[in-house]
């Protein structure tokens, strides 16, 4: 009997039982038993005891590799590797590179606010200088919108700013916003041509009261009790400031009041018309300026006219000199940029934060205009302004809840 047959019979006792003679004759195997093979894939691996020579005669053993090469095993290996990396890094996950750090975002918002307030202060100073020498608020308002339109058209033409993709529906939704913006802009300019800049902005700080009243009685929106209570210091402070104003003028007072009402409707129309639109704050204000310019220009010509403008221009040049031209350019350019930065800020912050920033902006404008133009202020008048601004701040906090 061959050695192969003897091994076969030794491994298969059921077969060897059928051949007793063969079983009796079969000698004991002299080789090591072959271990039962695993059904899983396997590779040859060296024994656990290290070998001192490559030509060692020690046998090689068969070691199974669980799930080698399968998709599940690769997934488990990747998870194990990621888990090991987490343990190595102390379990701290890395931030998304696309998400800016919180500190960087706050820095950007702070920069927006600083530029916004600075540009607004400079605009109000030059605007008042122009109106003192050239009392034509309709033309002054038109030049502000025209400068902004030319600036943005040049940006789009030179690809400094990507032009917005608009359609007819966009301009239809923008039309009521532009009408309200035009009325508010002209009314505020008329007010500043008649009264001090500080007084105009004190009255304009009462805009939240108009917002609540319009939203409540025309839109049916309800507000919590703290919001209504915050209107008391706003209205009371504005009334106290108006009564104690040394250079009170009804036209200037009504211009500021109309401006408040118009800007409230502008915000309402803007919120309704721009829902779902993908236009950046910069381009949105650019389109708003262009449409407002088309609306305002015919009315400016009808109310004042080129003859009055020419006579007033000659008078201003003869009294001020060519500095007057710089004043006109500065007030027009700074008007556009301060509004543009404010709309850019809306892309980064909430309406509540914007409202608080707007309140702080008015404080900076009031204080700077009083200092530069040496505006006489009575203590009671200053108290009224402080109460109105405090009420505006309380209003923003009440809206937060």
Higher pLDDT, 146 or 97: 146
CA distances from 208 to 44, 215, 245, 331, 386 (A): 82, 10, 22, 26, 15
Question: pLDDT tens, 125-166?
Answer: 999 999 999 999 999 999 999 999 999 999 999 999 899 888
> 44 forms bridges with which residues in the sheet?
62
pLDDT of 104 reads 65
pLDDT value at residue 359: 74
What is the rounded CA–CA span in Å between residue 328 and residue 136? Answer: 12
pLDDT for res 99 = 47
Say what the pLDDT of residue 220 is. Answer: 82
Average pLDDT of every residue of the chain? 77
pLDDT level of residue 98 (50, 70, 90 thresholds): very low
- The residue with greater pLDDT, 260 or 93, is 260
Give the per-residue pLDDT at 349: 66
Q: Which residue has the higher pLDDT, 3 or 167?
A: 167
Nearest to 326 by CA among 134, 71, 43: 134
* Helix, strand, coil fractions of the chain, as percent rounded to 5: 70, 0, 25
- Predicted confidence (pLDDT) per residue in 1-39, tens digit: 555 555 555 555 544 444 444 444 445 555 555 555 444
CA distances to 44, 45, 60, 295, 361 from 66, in Å = 14, 14, 19, 78, 69
Say which range, 66-70, 96-100, 157-161, 308-312, has the weakest mean pLDDT.
66-70
d(CA 81, CA 111) in angstroms, rounded, equals 43
C-alpha distances (whole Å) from 65 to each of 35, 39, 58, 60, 83 are 16, 11, 22, 15, 21
pLDDT score of 112? 74
Q: Is the separation of the CB atoms in 231 and 391 below 8 Å?
A: yes
pLDDT number for residue 339: 87
pLDDT over 60 at 89, yes or no: no
Q: Judge whether residue 327 has pLDDT over 60.
A: yes
At 256 the pLDDT is: 94
The yes-or-no verdict on residue 86 having pLDDT over 70 is no
| Cα gap 93→85, rounded to integer Å | 10
Side-chain-side CA neighbours of residue 302 (13 Å) = 5
Banded pLDDT at 313 (limits 50, 70, 90): very high
Higher-confidence position of 364 and 180: 180
Counting residues of the chain whose pLDDT is more than 70, the rounded percentage is 68
- pLDDT band for position 96 (cuts 50, 70, 90): very low
pLDDT at 50 over 80: no
**343-392 pLDDT, tens digit each:** 777 666 666 566 667 777 888 889 888 999 888 888 998 999 999 989 88
pLDDT of residue 113: 79
Give the residue-averaged pLDDT of 177-186.
95
Q: What tokens appear for 277 in the block?
A: 């639109």
What is residue 130's predicted lDDT score, i.e. its pLDDT?
A: 96
37-41, 290-294, 319-323, 360-364: the lowest-pLDDT one: 37-41
| pLDDT score, position 38 | 46
241-252 mean pLDDT: 90
The pLDDT assigned to 309 comes to 95
> pLDDT class for 82, splitting at 50, 70, 90?
very low
Contacts of 144 (CB under 8 A, 6+ apart): 185, 331, 332, 335, 336
Q: What is the pLDDT at residue 1?
A: 52
Using the predicted structure, report yes or no on whether residue 53 has a pLDDT greater than 80: no
């Amino acid at each position: 009997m061959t050695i192969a047959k003897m091994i076969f019979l030794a491994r298969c006792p059921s077969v060897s039982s059928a051949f007793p003679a063969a079983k009796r004759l079969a000698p004991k195997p002299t080789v090591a038993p072959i271990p039962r093979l695993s059904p899983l894939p396997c590779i040859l691996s060296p024994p656990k005891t290290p070998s001192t020579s490559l030509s060692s005669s020690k046998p090689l053993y068969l070691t199974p590799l669980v799930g080698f090469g399968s998709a599940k095993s690769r997934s488990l290996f990747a998870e194990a590797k990621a888990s090991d990396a987490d343990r190595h890094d102390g379990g701290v996950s890395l931030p998304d590179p696309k998400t800016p750090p919180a500190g960087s975002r706050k820095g950007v918002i702070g920069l927006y606010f600083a530029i916004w307030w600075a540009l607004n202060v400079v605009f109000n100073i030059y605007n008042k200088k122009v109106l003192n020498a050239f009392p034509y608020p309709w033309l002054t308002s038109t030049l502000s919108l025209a400068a902004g339109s030319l600036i943005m058209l040049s940006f789009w033409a030179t690809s400094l700013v990507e032009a917005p993709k608009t359609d007819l529906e966009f301009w239809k939704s923008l039309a009521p916003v532009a009408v309200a913006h035009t009325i508010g802009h002209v009314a505020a300019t008329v007010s500043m041509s008649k009264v001090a800049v500080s007084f105009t902005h004190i009255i304009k700080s009462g805009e939240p009261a108009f917002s609540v009243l319009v939203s409540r009685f025309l839109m049916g929106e309800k507000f919590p009790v703290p919001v209504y209570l915050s209107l008391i210091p706003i209205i009371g402070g504005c009334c106290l400031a108006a009564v104690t104003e040394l250079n009170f003028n009804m036209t200037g007072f009504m211009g500021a009041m109309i401006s408040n009402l118009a800007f409230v409707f502008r915000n309402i129309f803007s919120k309704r018309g721009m829902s779902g639109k993908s236009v950046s704050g910069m381009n949105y204000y650019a389109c708003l300026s262009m449409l407002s310019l088309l609306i305002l220009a015919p009315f400016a010509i009808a109310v004042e006219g080129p003859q009055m403008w020419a006579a007033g221009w000659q008078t201003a040049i003869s009294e001020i000199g060519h500095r007057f031209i710089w004043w006109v350019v500065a007030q027009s350019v700074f008007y556009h940029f301060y509004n543009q930065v404010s709309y850019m800020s809306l892309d980064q912050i909430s309406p509540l934060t914007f409202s608080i920033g707007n309140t702080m902006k008015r404080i900076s404008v009031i204080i700077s205009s009083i200092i530069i133009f040496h505006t006489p202020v009575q203590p009671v008048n200053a108290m009224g302004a402080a109460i109105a601004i405090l009420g505006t701040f309380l209003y923003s906090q009440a809206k937060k809840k």
